Structure 1
Amino acid sequence: MTSRSPINSRGPRSSALDTVDTLSAYNLITTSLAPCGWILRRVHGILPVEENDNDNDKDAPSMRTLHRITVAAILGLAITACSDSSDRSPGAPVEPPVEPPVEPTLSAQIRRTEYGIPHIKADDWASLGYGYGYAYSQDNFCVTMREVALASGRWAEFTGEDIDRDFLSRYINGTKEEFTADFFNKLPQRDQELITGYAAGMARYLNETGVDNLPEGENGCRGEPWVFSPDRIDLMMYLRKIALQASTDQGIVRGAILAVKGPDALQMANIDSMEVRPGLKRDLAAMGREIRPSEVGSNAIALGSDATQNGGGLLLGNPHQPWNGSGRWYEAHLTIPGEYDAAGASLQGLPWIAIGFTRDVAWTHTVDYATRFTLYEVPLNPDDPMQYEYDGEWRDIVTTTVSAQQLLEDGTVETQEHTFYSTQYGLVLDLGGVNPAIGGWPTFAGTLMTMRDANLDTGLRSLRQWVEKAQATNMEEYRQALRHIGNPVFHEFAADRNGGMFYGQISAVPHVDQAKLDQCLTGIGALVAGATTNAFIGLDGSRSACEWGEDADSPEGSNLFGLSSHPQILGTGTAGNSNNSYWLTDVTRPLEGFPVVFGWMGHEGNQQFLRTRITHSMIADRLAGGDELSETPLFDQETLKTLMYSNRVHGAELVLDDVLQICDEYLNNPEADPANAPALADTCEVLSNWDRRVNVDSRGAQVFTEFWAGIRDTYGSPYQNVVVSDEFWAVDFDPANPIGTPAGIDLTVQANRDLVIEKLLQANQRLTDAGVALGAPWGEVQFLERNNERVPIHGGAGTMGVFGAISASLQEGGYKNPRAGNSYIQVVTWDESECPIADTILTHSQSVQPDSDYYADQTRLYADKRWVRFPFCEDEIQAAQIGETLVLEE
């Protein structure tokens, strides 16, 4: 039985860890068993070596590396052979061999500070991953285990469900052996080691805990058939899957890929004879909304020396991520002395710090709605439906059949197959599920739709980029780390201790410049692009001139825009973004002249989100000292923290005075319907007394929330984030004043007055039906349930202009258990000391396990608008440490 103490823990050697460096093993045998030279030569002869595929990579070894093999096996072979050696005289007693101590190949130190934050220190990358994987698993193992199982292509084998997802996973990744050769082995050695160690840490936690002792409940996995001991390939498949969430693995795209049935039953959609044409634009617009993930967003503000009171850098990171599942954040601090020292947060199961800070630099992201893939429309050969035209020649469509196992109701497992079709661009899609007019093989135009995904290989570059960002000491070094284009979907923001700041829309974007887009956007592709405001774009696939291009600094073989072509700001001023495009990141110096593929959401000259507008309004007011945060202009850490929690509702600031005027005039109109008067009077009285914020003690926020949702239902854009109308606004949108417009309600239009009364009454009815009092404090209406405790949650819907966005739907009893929103928040700066000054909060808390001390502790802090001072330097860690240090070895 293995013993384990808090100070030193060496667990059983699992299959994931039952290895040591072969050279070390050989040296050990040589020393211990020198008399048995003949067997040593034989042992040496069986030690395999492999060529390093990364000889040109600075992170990879420059010489051939030895495989790791089991020490016990080698020793067993040598000792067995030597037991009959002629060096031993006949009849002499056999002394039991003394096995020398085996040095651990993985060793990590884990210390936890307040609120369950693990600080992992190790001397190498594999050990760092090992410690992190183990510490993370103690809090949230089942969350990532479920995602690993889903990504493995075996979900239907375990559960009998969703075999289509398995088919796609198996097509993208191949077998584990194929994935290892085609993907994992192409990673830099450092990345391989970190991932291998992390998987080993997860495996160790599972081996020690046992499937039947894992956490239970909604986020648990006790006794689940999909729990297995993950290895590095399982984990890497999951990490690759994350990069594809906005493209191939995005719901509507995945559905269109799996809907393709091939040409056996030829069906050409006759768009002129079908009764679907009138709904085509509507359905395409709905498809465009699908490509925008509804549960993610973010705010970021990066401030350089020109904007701060002390002349140093200052950064706010405020991602709006899901509060459940793999999109949750997890806080940690990872250190390899002299090589890597980063703190902050990772998404579940990621073995690196994704948003965080170091001694010199802090960084964050906001979700960036640039183009991640392009559709290509290819003409089919009328004489052969398995050929398409390219530059006047016919090319064959490739078929690939994959198999997956499916668990049946009787407990047996059956093999199922699915055939995928692909062109030189990638997989063929059938958009008939969006609207039958654009489906079929071929479409009404005699074509097929196929796609190319910019993120298929991003996973090869992601870890390298994030590690190098954390090794940067200033903004130019940070910027250079982005040359890998390993970021799948985010705007980049950073600041440093010397007063530098950086912004870059530097993510994976297909190299389609505006000239190419203008020339190649034809046919169904043009129809789709127009209806989705360029969320989907389709190019002419019959011409090589419409292929993606490249820059001199594009990642090799990627056909992505290189670092130098992306919108970016490097300086000492300000930058802010709340999920619109790059255009107004610095409103005093708009970034202009970039193709629409860099950001179709809020592109140049287009109306901006209310959340974008309040972000820049608050920045401008603070720089001028014109707000209530401080009499002194410019920012410091406290004013930025206060801004984060200000909870203003910008939509109310723009229209509520007009709403109350309309309400008052209606109630005083003798011709108004008296049946509406009581409910309307109550509704408007609550709104008139409301402080126009979403603090926990604000009364009436629920009324405006439902009212504004009703306005958006009528006048919302196809993406439900801005209200677009030629009649509603008193001041229409003006591209020359994008932060100040549109504004006010046009009171001269009777339809606007009628709409306001209708939506006020509708809000009253919705709240009444849900059992929510109109004037109840917001914290009693919006809350998170934790172990029969209701924790108040401040913040509100970003669509009504709340900077601190919270996504929660009205249900019986209120806005219970938000889905997403403010998640991991950090405000980071520096002073003359070596240590960064980081105040953070994890709104949903660290652990998903109800019996954990870290299940709701930070949520309560958030309710009170408090922060956690994140300990970074050694003396800070020692002062905040809880429990004993764990040294984990294998």
Structure 2
Amino acid sequence: MYYVRRIFKRKSFRLFPFLLALLFILAVGSQSYSSPPKSTEILWDTYGVPHIYGKDNKGIFNAFGWAQMHSHGNLLLRLYGQGRGRAAEYWGDKYLDSDRWVLTMGVPERARSWYWAQSPTFRSYLDAFASGINAYAQEHSDLIDDSVEVVLPVKAEDVLAHLMRVIYFTFIVDPDQVASVGVDNKQPKAGSNGWAIAPKHSASGKAMLLANPHLPWSDLFLWYEAQLTSPNINAYGATLVGVPVLAIAFNDNLGWTHTVNAYDGWDVYELKLADQGYRFDDKIYPFETKTLSLKVKQKDGTLSEQPLVIKSSVHGPVVKEKDGKALALRVVGQDRPGVLEQWWDMARSQNLTQFESVLQRLQLPMFTVMYADRDGHIMHLFNGLVPIRSQGDFKYWQGIIPGDTSKTLWTKIHSYRDLPRIVDPASGWLQNANDPPWTTTFPVAIKSDKYPPYMSPHEMNFRAQRSAKMLLKDKKISFKKMIAYKHSTRMELADRLLDDLIPAAQKYGQELAKQAVQILATWDRQTNADSRGAVLFAAWAEEIDLDKVFSKPWNQKFPLTTPDGLANPQSAVATLQSVAAKVKKTYGALDISWGEVYRLKYGNVNLPANGGNGELGIFRTLYFAPLGSEDGHFQAVAGDSFVAAIEFSNPVKAMALTSYGNASQPGSPHIGEQLQMFAHKQLRPVWRDRKDIQAHLAERTAF
């Protein structure tokens, strides 16, 4: 170390980055297990989780591609076909809009350039992942749907195109958000909860982490749970189907989860058209134009072709053109091809210093990072590629931006040190439920006045308030209690409004409204399967305007008790009267149980649900859609998906659940098999040691 210090002190030393990389490799290499396997194998446990043991990293990636095909083959190939922008060519015109979006955003072309921008080593890992996919398809073609085999063979470029479509052009921005900009809030609709608890707030004196993303239970949003082990990695977690590394993970020494942050990484610019071009800084610029051919499969199997003209300004691709104006879309980070390698190295890190050195690459364009480790550190990082903007607050940048001046055109990104971040707060805990970073803990640890006004808004949703209140409730939280809190179905909105609604109904209400509030007065304010009153209150909440119902708006000085009060009690009661009539007509009673109306239906499983809409302030989040032709009944389609509770004791204690099961491939026994535990508010043990895995071994795959 003496010689290393001497070298570092020499200002002329130019190999500093090389040495840092070398030290990182040496450090993470220390996690190797005692007897590295001579070959690669997958041990499948009884819940369909692949525990991959690789003789080297290429072996891991190859086996992980194979495993994903085994569990999600049809879905994976369909997603890759969409990432190519050729889904309409493969499967017909219902994919036309998807192809137009992917091609207009330049996804396939950029994926090719990203492939060659990878380091040679990591490029070989991506090739290995694609090879594993192809090998499975060749060996088990009878298990793959004939309609998706047209995507084969898969290339590493397809993996990157899929990643780009998911992260950049679904999570950061999607077509629906672009269409609603200036009319509706343009923030992502996906959500999550995340907790990091320090030893001082933990009953065991060990740091704990809670990972709890809320995503749709289908398509590109499905989580895949796995363990990856080789001579220099031993990480457990989950990733989205088709992604070759873990996106949420932990190892023996640290772990992290992500939440969708209240962040803006895209903007729509309004262009003034003139002379076949657009005005910019008092000049007229021509559009860059290219024409692609969209192929569309017809019902008779033939292909038709139609042109796709893509126009771009200095801001980005044009997404709409009408009445002498055009809208152009600008999205951050398309010059940052290292997302996957950053996630990979996050999982290989062994302490906070190493972990942050990886985060500082800023390749991951969004997502809050919630972190905890064996050393007792916890961290909240408002991670993202945040544009350096010359003017305006967060609300300003939610609208359509004037595109005729360079004053509004951002070209640079905030550095890592500019991002809101807190390590080891005095409170001993951190939470995020898609609220801005200013409310991650109390007393406030990240002060908004130290950051640009466009960094993040000032608000705290009811789910985040519920989250913070549970953490404030106990001075010392046990691992068991953390899991119990995770399953809390208490409705913060009911706590906030019933004390006003009940007396208002008794004063202004007709007989039916008075009957309704009698039920609400005795309701437990939960959305458990047997809760009576929850259906009625949720139906009322759906009919009111949450932006206008309160007499007191949210106040950052009182973040956990506002908004509050009914702005118009008589109107609220009239709405309750109307809703009560509908509930009684639909279900025959006002006090029907939550689980009778709201169901956990997935595959062949159909169970009573617990949990509900996060906007109601429910930590156990579920979103529902109408259940087939059954009038007034609903099934869960999104919400709690992958859940992991981790305590960094020795050994690490971990429980998890993948709500809908760890497979979607037809015929798999793992489709929906974990919903029974979900319905009973249970997590299952995570098996990480080989002896535990072998004790619950269902199948072995050797390579």
Q: Normalization by structure 2: what TM-score?
A: 0.88
Structure 2 equivalent of residue 739 of structure 1: 560
* Structure 1 residue 765, shift from structure 2 partner: 3.6
> Among residues 653, 659, 679, which one is paired with 1:843 in the alignment?
659
> Among residues 567, 570, 575, which one is paired with 2:430 in the alignment?
575
1:199–1:232 contact (8 Å) kept in structure 2: yes
1:110–1:120 contact (8 Å) kept in structure 2: yes
Q: How many angstroms apart in 2 are the aligned matches of 1:863 and 1:387?
A: 56
Q: Which shows bigger deviation, 354-363 or 412-421?
A: 412-421
Structure 2 equivalent of residue 292 of structure 1: 187
Structure 2 equivalent of residue 503 of structure 1: 380
* Structure 1 residue 755, shift from structure 2 partner: 1.9
Secondary structure of 2:498 counterpart: helix
Structure 1 equivalent of residue 30 of structure 2: none
Deviations 1:156-192 (CA, angstroms, capped at 9, x unpaired)? 21233143533443454476xx556522110123432
C-alpha change, 1:478 and 1:180, in structure 2 (3 Å) is closer
* Structure 1 residue 472, shift from structure 2 partner: 1.8
* Structure 1 residue 342, shift from structure 2 partner: 0.9
Structure 2 equivalent of residue 346 of structure 1: 239
Structure 1 equivalent of residue 464 of structure 2: 612
Deviations 1:289-320 (CA, angstroms, capped at 9, x unpaired)? 3x3333x1111111122322333211111111
Q: How many angstroms apart in 1 are the aligned matches of 2:71 and 2:115?
A: 27
Secondary structure of 2:40 counterpart: strand
Q: How many angstroms apart in 1 are the aligned matches of 2:107 and 2:346?
A: 31
* Structure 1 residue 650, shift from structure 2 partner: 0.8
1:167–1:403 contact (8 Å) kept in structure 2: no
* Structure 1 residue 852, shift from structure 2 partner: 2.5
Structure 2 equivalent of residue 132 of structure 1: 64
Supply the AA of the counterpart residue of 2:139: E
Structure 1 equivalent of residue 279 of structure 2: 388
Answer yes or no: is 1:548 the counterpart of 2:413. no
1:407–1:413 contact (8 Å) kept in structure 2: yes
* Structure 1 residue 365, shift from structure 2 partner: 1.0
Q: How many angstroms apart in 1 are the aligned matches of 2:20 and 2:82?
A: 32
Supply the AA of the counterpart residue of 1:163: L
Q: How many angstroms apart in 1 are the aligned matches of 2:666 and 2:590?
A: 32
Structure 1 equivalent of residue 640 of structure 2: 822
Answer yes or no: is 1:635 the counterpart of 2:567. no
Supply the AA of the counterpart residue of 1:578: A
Q: Normalization by structure 1: what TM-score?
A: 0.70
> Among residues 317, 323, 330, which one is paired with 1:440 in the alignment?
323
Q: How many angstroms apart in 2 are the aligned matches of 1:213 and 1:372?
A: 40
Q: How many angstroms apart in 2 are the aligned matches of 1:363 and 1:304?
A: 14
> Among residues 240, 264, 268, which one is paired with 2:164 in the alignment?
240
Structure 2 equivalent of residue 887 of structure 1: 702
Q: How does 1:675-686 map to 2 (within 5 A)?
A: 677=511, 679-686=512-519
Secondary structure of 1:507 counterpart: coil
Structure 1 equivalent of residue 4 of structure 2: none
Answer yes or no: is 1:564 the counterpart of 2:417. yes
Supply the AA of the counterpart residue of 2:280: E
Structure 2 equivalent of residue 597 of structure 1: 454
Q: How many angstroms apart in 2 are the aligned matches of 1:404 and 1:479?
A: 43
1:797–1:807 contact (8 Å) kept in structure 2: yes
Q: How many angstroms apart in 2 are the aligned matches of 1:643 and 1:247?
A: 27
1:314–1:636 contact (8 Å) kept in structure 2: no
C-alpha change, 1:763 and 1:455, in structure 2 (3 Å) is farther
Q: How many angstroms apart in 2 are the aligned matches of 1:152 and 1:307?
A: 48
Aligned residues between the structures: 665
2:624–2:634 contact (8 Å) kept in structure 1: yes
> Among residues 204, 216, 221, which one is paired with 1:310 in the alignment?
204
2:600–2:608 contact (8 Å) kept in structure 1: yes
Identity %: 24
Name the larger-Rg structure.
1
1:243–1:455 contact (8 Å) kept in structure 2: no
Deviations 1:383-436 (CA, angstroms, capped at 9, x unpaired)? x3325334x554332111112222234433233212211122221243x6xxxx
Deviations 1:512-564 (CA, angstroms, capped at 9, x unpaired)? 2xxx114xx9xxxxxxx86xx63245255533x54435xxxxxxxxx321111
Unaligned runs of 5+ in 1: 1-53, 60-105, 215-220, 256-282, 433-438, 522-528, 550-558, 624-633, 717-722, 747-751
Q: How many angstroms apart in 1 are the aligned matches of 2:377 and 2:537?
A: 40
2:74–2:665 contact (8 Å) kept in structure 1: no
C-alpha change, 1:689 and 1:481, in structure 2 (3 Å) is same
C-alpha change, 1:637 and 1:468, in structure 2 (3 Å) is same
Q: How many angstroms apart in 1 are the aligned matches of 2:543 and 2:572?
A: 9
Answer yes or no: is 1:411 the counterpart of 2:275. no
Structure 2 equivalent of residue 205 of structure 1: 136
* Structure 1 residue 569, shift from structure 2 partner: 0.5
Deviations 1:48-94 (CA, angstroms, capped at 9, x unpaired)? xxxxxx999969xxxxxxxxxxxxxxxxxxxxxxxxxxxxxxxxxxx
> Among residues 231, 235, 251, which one is paired with 2:175 in the alignment?
251
Supply the AA of the counterpart residue of 1:188: S
C-alpha change, 1:159 and 1:655, in structure 2 (3 Å) is same
1:312–1:500 contact (8 Å) kept in structure 2: no
* Structure 1 residue 284, shift from structure 2 partner: 5.5
Supply the AA of the counterpart residue of 1:244: Y
Q: How many angstroms apart in 1 are the aligned matches of 2:596 and 2:483?
A: 24
Structure 1 equivalent of residue 34 of structure 2: none
C-alpha change, 1:387 and 1:539, in structure 2 (3 Å) is closer
Q: How many angstroms apart in 2 are the aligned matches of 1:253 and 1:646?
A: 31
Structure 2 equivalent of residue 517 of structure 1: 391
* Structure 1 residue 329, shift from structure 2 partner: 1.0
1:772–1:814 contact (8 Å) kept in structure 2: no
> Among residues 610, 624, 627, which one is paired with 1:808 in the alignment?
624
Q: Which shows bigger deviation, 855-864 or 448-457?
A: 448-457
Secondary structure of 1:402 counterpart: strand
Deviations 1:773-814 (CA, angstroms, capped at 9, x unpaired)? 432332222212245542222111111111111111455355
* Structure 1 residue 246, shift from structure 2 partner: 4.6
Secondary structure of 2:580 counterpart: helix
Structure 2 equivalent of residue 160 of structure 1: 92
Deviations 1:608-651 (CA, angstroms, capped at 9, x unpaired)? 2111111111111123xxxxxxxxxx122111111111211111
C-alpha change, 1:109 and 1:404, in structure 2 (3 Å) is same
Unaligned runs of 5+ in 2: 1-16, 23-37
Supply the AA of the counterpart residue of 1:592: S
Structure 2 equivalent of residue 796 of structure 1: 612
C-alpha change, 1:159 and 1:116, in structure 2 (3 Å) is closer
Secondary structure of 2:309 counterpart: strand
Secondary structure of 2:540 counterpart: helix
Structure 2 equivalent of residue 330 of structure 1: 224
Deviations 1:109-138 (CA, angstroms, capped at 9, x unpaired)? 100123111101112332211111211222
> Among residues 334, 359, 363, which one is paired with 1:486 in the alignment?
363
Displacement over 6 Å in runs of 4+:
54-57
> Among residues 246, 256, 263, which one is paired with 1:363 in the alignment?
256
CA RMSD for the aligned pairs? 2.8
2:107–2:161 contact (8 Å) kept in structure 1: no
Answer yes or no: is 1:868 the counterpart of 2:684. yes
C-alpha change, 1:874 and 1:703, in structure 2 (3 Å) is same
1:517–1:539 contact (8 Å) kept in structure 2: no
* Structure 1 residue 587, shift from structure 2 partner: 2.8
Q: How many angstroms apart in 1 are the aligned matches of 2:660 and 2:698?
A: 23
Supply the AA of the counterpart residue of 1:397: F
Structure 2 equivalent of residue 426 of structure 1: 316
2:298–2:304 contact (8 Å) kept in structure 1: yes
Q: How many angstroms apart in 2 are the aligned matches of 1:665 and 1:245?
A: 51
Secondary structure of 2:308 counterpart: strand
2:173–2:188 contact (8 Å) kept in structure 1: no
2:64–2:132 contact (8 Å) kept in structure 1: yes
1:369–1:489 contact (8 Å) kept in structure 2: no
* Structure 1 residue 843, shift from structure 2 partner: 1.4
Supply the AA of the counterpart residue of 1:298: S
Answer yes or no: is 1:704 the counterpart of 2:556. no
